[in-house]
Amino acid sequence: MLSLSKESARALALSVVRDVFPSPDAGSPERAAQAAFDYRARKSQLSDRDRAFAAELAYGAIKMRRALDWHLAPFLSEQKALPPAIHEILRLAAYELLYTRADEHATLFEFVNLAKRWGHKGLANLVNAVLRSMLRAGKAEPQRAAFENDDDYLAVRYSLPTWLVRQWRGVFGDEVEAICAAVDEPQRAALVVNRLKTTPSDVIARLALLGIETSPSPIVAESLLVERGTLARAGGGDGAWWPQSESSAMPVDVLGPQPGEAILDVCSGRGNKALQIGARLEGQGSICCIERDERKAATLGRRLGEAGIAASIVAGDATTEILEPARQFDRVLLDAPCSGVGVVGRHPEARWKKQGTDGERMALTQRALLEESARHVYPGGALVYAVCSTDPRETTEVIDWFLSRQNFERGLMPAAYAALLTRDGDVQVAPGVGGRDGFYIARVERRP
């Protein structure tokens, strides 16, 4: 017997997928997967267990969209004529059947009923026939020999856009398949400890009492990696710690702020890196944050206050001359806006929403931000440039362009980063590998 709640979980998953990929003629707003799930889950009466099931289905079907279409294609001769909702129902059902320990009878029964609800009896019969044919054929993985080139094979095998696979191959060479596989796995959660309020060992002990096992990062001293459990069970941390990926904590570690110094944080966002800088200054020195988005700036101010960290916040566009020209700092951090292709593993819909041209467009903004940031570095001071991208147009090409125009040179990286360095001495973190986000970090220093 099928439970009503389980059926509703599948209906919730369908609503989330349709929010992320709305029909062109629906006129409804497009939502991010997490926002869509939060919105739909709040309106449901599902238990926590069924919400988790709905999330698994929705996020999985979104992430594996291209691979699912490949699996369905042999049984779907009228694919182009299908209404969008019916096509999404097929993808969700195929995901459950191919990637989870599904009860096949329950899966078919409930998705066929959903097809009746969103279409008519004929479409429900079609869904039933396609899914049964797929089950009879068994799960067959894509084979290299069947594709014109290896990039297309990997893109279908791991459900990615071909342009992104091609870009990763250009940067990482033979590591490309390991990266494609890794971004399909759950990305590792981590947190940063505010050492103004507590110590990493204290946080490890507090989280252990909640069943959350963590271990120190081998690279960033104040970063803890989640080995088991979910941080959501631990609440907000009250300024003693905050969720932040290990890769995202690396730019401040590379910056190396010291007590007594003046630090400029450009594009501060909601403040993870500003908080990290403040903790490293140990209450000695100063922080100036620039953030364009007023809502993010407000959140930044609140979080700094909760963490007991003093900073000045300037709301405005950092590509323009927003600070006095003579104002200079010991160290400047530029965590620049970017295409975000390094974090596609963390957001299920990201791989389908980004475009291959994003890197070229974002590089223009990054170059403007770098030039403005450079004006405020003391002679002998350091400027750290970071993006959660691995697109060369946003990474090496931006820094090489900058060094060709400015009186700066590359500085030395901390020894802990030796395994992540490029030939030029910049940090390049491969997306997904080791559960890390893809990041690029360059440290340049102003010549005296």
| Stated pTM of the model | 0.92
Nearest CA to 199 out of 216, 184, 183 is that of 216
Rounded Cα gap, residues 247 and 417, in angstroms? 11
- Pairing type for strands 223-228 and 241-243 reads unpaired
Give the amino acid at 309: I
DSSP codes, 34-67: HHHHHHHHHHS---HHHHHHHHHHHHHHHHTHHH
Would the CA dihedral through 365, 366, 368, 369 be positive or negative? positive
Question: From first to last of its 448 residues, what are the pLDDT tens digits of the chain?
Answer: 344 444 589 999 999 999 999 987 777 788 999 999 999 998 888 888 999 999 999 999 999 999 999 999 999 875 567 899 999 999 999 999 999 988 899 999 999 999 999 888 889 999 999 999 999 998 889 999 999 999 999 999 999 999 999 999 999 999 999 999 999 998 999 999 999 999 999 999 999 999 999 999 999 999 999 999 988 777 767 788 999 999 999 999 999 999 999 999 999 999 999 999 999 999 999 999 999 999 999 999 999 998 889 999 999 999 999 999 899 999 999 999 999 999 999 999 999 999 999 999 999 999 999 999 999 999 999 999 999 999 999 999 999 999 999 999 999 999 999 999 999 999 999 999 999 999 999 999 999 9
Cβ 322 vs Cβ 300: under 8 Å = no
Q: What angle do CA 313, 314, 315 make, to 5 degrees?
A: 115
User: What are 149's two structure tokens?
Assistant: 């080139």
- pLDDT confidence of residue 3: 45
Catalytic residue numbers read 388
Would the CA dihedral through 228, 233, 239, 242 be positive or negative? positive
- pLDDT confidence of residue 28: 77
User: What are 16's two structure tokens?
Assistant: 């989330």
Contacts of 174 (CB under 8 A, 6+ apart): none
Cβ count within 10 A of residue 32: 15
